[in-house]
């Protein structure tokens, strides 16, 4: 189980009580005197359990006045709020009972150490299209949809909670205005169709969580960041399930903003600049189709892989036609030697490279004319809504014409937080 394994490595507890007697013992201690417990370090220092009955094992390291670890000292465990999580006094195994926070204490005589344990039991909502749902502490937001379109924004968040330490490696800069842009895209698609795309937003700053990475780089061992990462991908998978049940197939866009000099949209299908520099005939070979994020769609669409990728009715072709230069597209079939993002973790996981009915793309928006003002964002979002309608009609066989909102689907892609921790693989 991912969550609990990772908890075990999330660091040492802090010392909270150094008894007066223990302090005096340090002062009085001469060389060769008997060792006595002076400090207790509890691991992990913070824990998070997300379903009733799940367990977290705490361990304590007893340290003597010379800083040496003492073996074989038995420790007494207690929980400040046993109704949230009870703990076995001798083994240090805590069991989740109900939502809340409890302080776990390990003690030997007057020396003790503490850790914090939170129990968070997510709700199991029936999703209503157009309505926003939030994960723990509103770090992750899901706007439920009733269209076969899923859009995520992993890098547009602002929240910097103290409970999650700053990430110490990997990229930490925010994709400016992408959270604003995804909301306007949702509104433009709704204006056009009367229905809602599924939107998944990380409201955490990228210095706290990078959902477009594997969990190790994304959350760097913090249990709250790991849980938010699980929610982000769990919501996308709930959306994919809803799309598959209702439409049989759909399309996913992972929305980003790039800082490259050339002002053009970069569409990443998991093909490198070198791949894209190949001729149409070469690119049509299974080798390239199979490792693209539109693998499934390419096998179904009569238009063929290269037309989907950079033909006149590809996303790039249609966007370029509306004044948004794009690569790949008929005019710019490959990025040349310029910097280019070909797609990341989300595109690999939630597109159709490895199968599945939802194909996808990483859309890296340039700044000028796309993200730089409310007017730009509105214009781009309206163009994207129109482009998606044409693309769906031409290649996916779904008409995104105006329709009355669909009935609520209580069974749609319900995201059970407790299950996600168990079932969301990597």
> If you count them, how many residues does the chain have?
426
> Is beta strand 100-108 parallel, antiparallel or unpaired with respect to 326-327?
unpaired
Which range touches Zn ion (CB under 5 A), out of 133-141, 150-158, 166-174, 411-419?
150-158
Smallest separation (angstroms) from Zn ion to the CB of 256 = 3
Binding mask 29-48 for Zn ion (x = CB under 5 A): --------------------
DSSP 356: -
> What's phi and psi for 38, nearest 5 deg?
-125, -30
In the set 39, 136, 155, 264, which binds Zn ion (CB under 5 A)? 155
Distance CA 284, CA 160 (A): 45
Smallest separation (angstroms) from Zn ion to the CB of 65 = 50
Whose CB is nearest to Zn ion? 256
In the set 65, 175, 231, 266, which binds Zn ion (CB under 5 A)? 175
Smallest separation (angstroms) from Zn ion to the CB of 201 = 13
Distance CA 50, CA 57 (A): 15
Number of chain positions touching Zn ion (CB under 5 A): 3
Minimum CB distance to Zn ion smaller for 217 or for 386: 217
Minimum CB distance to Zn ion smaller for 190 or for 258: 258
Smallest separation (angstroms) from Zn ion to the CB of 305 = 26
Distance CA 36, CA 168 (A): 36
Distance CA 199, CA 150 (A): 6
Pinpoint the alpha helices (H) of 332-407: 345-350, 374-391
Smallest separation (angstroms) from Zn ion to the CB of 228 = 16
Q: Is residue 371 a contact residue for Zn ion (CB under 5 A)? A: no
Question: Considering just the CA atoms, what is the radius of gyration of the chain in Å?
Answer: 26
Minimum CB distance to Zn ion smaller for 237 or for 254: 254
Q: How far is CA 162 from CA 154, 156, 208, 224, in A?
A: 20, 19, 9, 11
Binding mask 101-140 for Zn ion (x = CB under 5 A): ----------------------------------------
Binding to Zn ion (CB under 5 A): which residues in 325-364? none
Chain center to CA of 139:
10
Q: Please, what's the b/e burial string for 410-423 (b: 16 or more CB within 10 A of its CB; e: otherwise)?
A: eebbebbbbebbee
Which range touches Zn ion (CB under 5 A), out of 105-113, 173-181, 347-355, 417-425?
173-181
Smallest separation (angstroms) from Zn ion to the CB of 214 = 15
Distance CA 253, CA 363 (A): 6
Minimum CB distance to Zn ion smaller for 56 or for 152: 152
Minimum CB distance to Zn ion smaller for 60 or for 365: 365
Distance CA 218, CA 182 (A): 21
Smallest separation (angstroms) from Zn ion to the CB of 375 = 23
Minimum CB distance to Zn ion smaller for 156 or for 197: 156
Smallest separation (angstroms) from Zn ion to the CB of 384 = 17
Smallest separation (angstroms) from Zn ion to the CB of 155 = 4
Distance CA 298, CA 53 (A): 45
Minimum CB distance to Zn ion smaller for 41 or for 266: 266
Binding to Zn ion (CB under 5 A): which residues in 208-267? 256
Q: How far is CA 104 from CA 2, 5, 50, 365, in A?
A: 22, 19, 17, 47
Binding site residues, Zn ion, CB under 5 A: 155, 175, 256
């Amino acid at each position: 189980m991912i969550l609990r394994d990772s908890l075990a490595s999330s660091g040492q507890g802090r010392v909270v009580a150094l008894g007066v007697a223990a302090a005096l013992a340090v002062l009085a201690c001469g060389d060769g005197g008997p060792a006595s417990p002076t400090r207790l370090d509890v691991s992990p220092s913070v824990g998070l359990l997300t379903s009733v009955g799940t367990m977290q094992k705490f361990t304590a390291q007893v340290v003597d006045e010379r800083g040496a670890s003492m073996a074989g000292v038995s420790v007494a465990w207690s929980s400040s709020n046993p109704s949230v999580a009870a703990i076995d006094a001798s083994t240090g195994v805590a069991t989740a009972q109900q939502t809340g926070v409890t302080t776990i204490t390990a003690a030997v005589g007057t020396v003790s150490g503490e850790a914090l344990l939170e129990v968070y039991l997510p709700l199991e909502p029936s999703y209503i299209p157009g309505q926003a749902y939030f994960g723990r502490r509103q770090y992750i937001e899901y706007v439920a949809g009733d269209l076969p379109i899923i859009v995520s924004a992993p890098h547009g968040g602002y929240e910097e909670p103290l409970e999650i330490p700053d990430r110490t490696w990997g990229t930490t800069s925010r994709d400016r205005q992408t959270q604003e842009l995804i909301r306007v895209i949702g509104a433009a698609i709704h204006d056009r169709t009367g229905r809602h795309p599924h939107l998944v937003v990380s409201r955490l700053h990228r210095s706290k969580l990078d959902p477009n990475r594997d969990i190790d780089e994304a959350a760097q061992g913090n249990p709250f960041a790991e849980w938010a990462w699980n929610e982000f991908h769990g919501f996308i998978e709930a959306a994919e399930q809803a799309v598959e049940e209702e439409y049989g197939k759909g399309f996913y866009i992972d929305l980003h903003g790039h800082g490259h000099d050339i002002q053009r949209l970069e569409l990443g299908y998991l093909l490198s600049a070198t791949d894209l520099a190949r001729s149409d005939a070469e690119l049509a070979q299974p080798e390239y189709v199979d490792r693209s994020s539109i693998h499934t769609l390419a096998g179904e669409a009569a238009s063929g892989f290269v037309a989907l990728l950079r033909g006149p009715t590809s996303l790039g072709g249609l966007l370029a036609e509306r004044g948004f230069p794009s690569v790949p597209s008929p005019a710019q079939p490959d990025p040349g030697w310029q910097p280019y993002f070909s797609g990341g973790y989300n595109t690999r996981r939630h597109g159709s490279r490895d199968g599945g009915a939802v194909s996808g793309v990483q859309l890296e928006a340039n700044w000028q004319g796309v993200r730089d003002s409310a007017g730009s964002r509105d214009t781009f979002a309206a163009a994207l809504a129109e482009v998606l309608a044409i693309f769906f009609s031409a290649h996916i066989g779904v008409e995104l014409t105006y329709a009355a909102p669909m009935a609520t689907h209580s069974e749609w892609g319900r995201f059970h937080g407790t299950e996600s921790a168990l079932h969301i693989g990597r």
